[in-house]
Amino acid sequence: MSEISSLGEFGLIDHLTKDIKIVNASTLKGVGDDAAVLQYGPDSKTLITTDLLLENVHFDLTYVPLRHLGYKSAVVNFSDIYAMNGTPRQITVSLGISSRFTLEHIEELYAGIRLACEHYGVDLVGGDTSASHQGLVISITCLGEAPEDKIVYRNGAQHNDLVCVSGNLGAAYMGLQLLEREKVASAGMKDFQPDFQGREYILERQLKPEARRDVIENLAKAGIKPTAMMDVSDGLSSELIHICSQSNVGCRIYEDRIPIDYQTAVMAEEINMNLVTAALNGGEDYELLFTIPLAAYDAIARVPDVKVIGKIVPASEGCAMITRDNTEITLRAQGWNPLKGDSQQ
């Protein structure tokens, strides 16, 4: 008997799908990236991605409002489509609903999903609802499209490329720590009022993340097409290793270049957690991690909210971070245990 958890998610998906043969001409790219790529027309490609969210694995309704949960469930799928340099177009939503939920609850959830759809210009085109004996189950599939020459895979990073990341890292993870702390503090207390003042940003990063459509649009305006790209859902370290292994390259990133918000730093200090560990391995940032040709160095400097954090090196040099005191630390895919809460194609 083999333990599933010993494989990790990528390992499990690889294992289960490694010799699947593609039989349809319309399937250009199947399992193995943020989204599959399909060909239904001559000019643009169809992208598809899917996420399964389970109560008490991916979300805790003790502190996550249903409207926020709906919003986030949709946005994490859009993020996968943007991470292909595509545009999300349609989603389907399947729900498993246990008897403790009322119609008003499900309306709240849907309100969040619909708000996300409106905000990102996506159509909700179908779904499925079912009874569940065990809490809330949310499964969302998103279709998107992109012109063929615009699609960015995970395997295109080249030696000497620059490694870039949008926004900042670790904030969603620190938001989660804050919520967990207040949950413990409030246990058994009625009308407990948690104090979130001055921490609104990390809370919002956890409860209502946004997909980086703006970054995709700004890169296009700047004439930059990334050579490889992923969204950061499992932590920077894990995603970097994934891009490098898919592209058969290595990387060097610099600790002092990793973008971290002030509130993230304050919270990490408060709970005695190493800040860089949080930024490297905290999940659910939904920022974009991508590589660009060295020649785009000047152009990327003019793209708002994007930072160059390192460079691509030959595979033989491995994946490492250079610390502030110039030590080289090998990156490890600690991330989230994929079979303990990850959701990504």
Smallest gap from Cβ 324 to its own copies, in A, equals 36
| CA 150/CA 216 separation, integer angstroms | 11
Nearer to its own copies, 34 or 255 (CB): 34
Smallest gap from Cβ 68 to its own copies, in A, equals 18
Instruction: Find all residues with CB under 8 Å of 87, minimum gap 6, and list them.
Output: 81, 144, 145, 146
Smallest gap from Cβ 115 to its own copies, in A, equals 12
Smallest gap from Cβ 50 to its own copies, in A, equals 4
Nearest CA-CA partner of 80 in 223, 227, 212: 212
Nearer to its own copies, 130 or 193 (CB): 130
Q: In this structure, is the dihedral angle defined by the CA atoms of residues 13, 149, 312 and 252, taken in order, positive or negative?
A: negative
Residue with token string 């999300």: 88
Nearer to its own copies, 109 or 312 (CB): 109
Smallest gap from Cβ 71 to its own copies, in A, equals 15
Q: Which amino acid is at 10?
A: F
Smallest gap from Cβ 221 to its own copies, in A, equals 22
Smallest gap from Cβ 218 to its own copies, in A, equals 22
Q: Which two tokens stand for residue 73?
A: 């469930």
Nearer to its own copies, 92 or 186 (CB): 92
Q: Which amino acid is at 95?
A: L
Nearer to its own copies, 43 or 325 (CB): 43
Nearer to its own copies, 203 or 211 (CB): 211
> HSE on the CB side for 338, CA within 13 Å?
18
- The H-assigned helical ranges of 187-301 are 200-207, 213-221, 236-247, 262-270, 275-281, 297-301
Q: In what order do the strands lie in the sheet with 44-54?
A: 27-29, 36-39, 44-54, 137-147, 87-97, 123-131
Cβ atoms of residues 103 and 111 within 8 Å: no
Instruction: Find all residues with CB under 8 Å of 37, minimum gap 6, and list them.
Output: 28, 29, 45, 46, 47, 84, 151
Nearest CA-CA partner of 91 in 58, 131, 47: 47
| CA 257/CA 185 separation, integer angstroms | 35
Nearer to its own copies, 141 or 206 (CB): 141
Nearer to its own copies, 38 or 296 (CB): 38
| CA 79/CA 35 separation, integer angstroms | 10
Smallest gap from Cβ 295 to its own copies, in A, equals 33
Smallest gap from Cβ 209 to its own copies, in A, equals 17
Nearer to its own copies, 30 or 318 (CB): 30
